[in-house]
Structure 1
């Protein structure tokens, strides 16, 4: 595969990343955390990273973001690295529907872009995506139609999406540029945006 062309932003930008891990006690650095560190160094996009292994941990991390982090307004992208299928998330052996996650985020994501890594399929009907956007207040939800155990979107196309978004927050133009510059990868992972 050829080298990805990743734009570098001029001003510091922020991503809030929540990753579900098997065991929070295991302090091993995940691939996603390594990639986020690289994005901070090379693309000027800073991230706050939180790992969780239960739905309560996810809720706690979200509360931290909302009530304790004074830079919350600076985070335009909420990056969720969660396993699951279609419209369910798998956390600690339990499945949670996208509707349950929307209710967990109820009214707390005003103007944010919720982006799912390709650890799970994001395949929403118009009704499901509208429900998620209405309940959370999010500006958009994005992700992929094809999960891949071998190729993480964090290493490839997610970093392009983040940079393009911070360059130009017109989501339609961002998606057009992604498909123009990285058509094969966008098609392979089946990039999707609901807004």
Structure 2
């Protein structure tokens, strides 16, 4: 990759009015400090908040093209996310961002199990234009994916090929990849 890796992180919280330094924020700060990986962090508590945050990034941030990874820390299972006790399918999310995620990698933390059929994954990629969707098949509530997330993100500092980065991730962190069931749809 010719430039630095940039991450846009959107974390679902119960109430956006309550400001707290979550584990996600602390890990993004560590990534910036230790590896120079720049990120923007936002919270949302509704689907409108998610849409508004991503649209602000798309239309107002002139550096959007630099953001390679959209990091979503949300609850949910399989093919849906949960915001404020409402469930939204990834098909609905894809339609909200039709054609707007060209070349981006959407990465879900293990707070949401990512389990897509081939058709669901292909639909999401085709509609949004995203390059890949990644996440985890196991939701271990006592173990967050933050260590593996940081390792995955840091691989993009060296090179841009998502498949080679996943191979490298498995080489370096095989046991954790297996335990959390790391998944990539492309």
* TM-score of the aligned structures, taking structure 1 as reference length: 0.92
Instruction: Report the CA distance between 1:43 and its aligned residue.
Output: 1.1
C-alpha distance in structure 1 between counterparts of 2:163 and 2:96, whole Å: 27
C-alpha distance in structure 2 between counterparts of 1:116 and 1:57, whole Å: 17
Describe the SS at the equivalent of 2:106.
strand
Matched, 1:178 2:138: no
Partner of 1:25: 17
Unmatched 5+ residue regions in structure 2? none
Pair 1:10–1:62, CA change in 2 (3 A): closer
Describe the SS at the equivalent of 1:177.
helix
Partner of 2:155: 164
Match for residue 130 of structure 1 among 118, 122, 132: 122
Partner of 2:143: 151
Matched, 1:105 2:97: yes
Partner of 1:96: 88
Instruction: Report the CA distance between 1:13 and its aligned residue.
Output: 2.3
Matched length: 186
Do the aligned residues in 2 keep the contact of 1:114 with 1:142 (CA within 8 Å)?
Answer: yes
Instruction: Report the CA distance between 1:166 and its aligned residue.
Output: 2.7
C-alpha distance in structure 2 between counterparts of 1:153 and 1:68, whole Å: 30
Any runs of at least 4 consecutive aligned residues in structure 1 with deviations exceeding 6 A, and if so which?
Answer: none
* TM-score of the aligned structures, taking structure 2 as reference length: 0.96
Do the aligned residues in 1 keep the contact of 2:5 with 2:156 (CA within 8 Å)?
Answer: no
Unmatched 5+ residue regions in structure 1? 1-8
C-alpha distance in structure 1 between counterparts of 2:136 and 2:167, whole Å: 16
Do the aligned residues in 2 keep the contact of 1:10 with 1:44 (CA within 8 Å)?
Answer: no
C-alpha distance in structure 2 between counterparts of 1:130 and 1:112, whole Å: 14
Q: 91-100 or 9-18, which moves further after superposition?
A: 9-18
Instruction: Report the CA distance between 1:148 and its aligned residue.
Output: 2.0
C-alpha distance in structure 1 between counterparts of 2:154 and 2:124, whole Å: 24
Do the aligned residues in 2 keep the contact of 1:20 with 1:52 (CA within 8 Å)?
Answer: yes
C-alpha distance in structure 2 between counterparts of 1:118 and 1:18, whole Å: 14
RMSD, aligned CA: 1.4
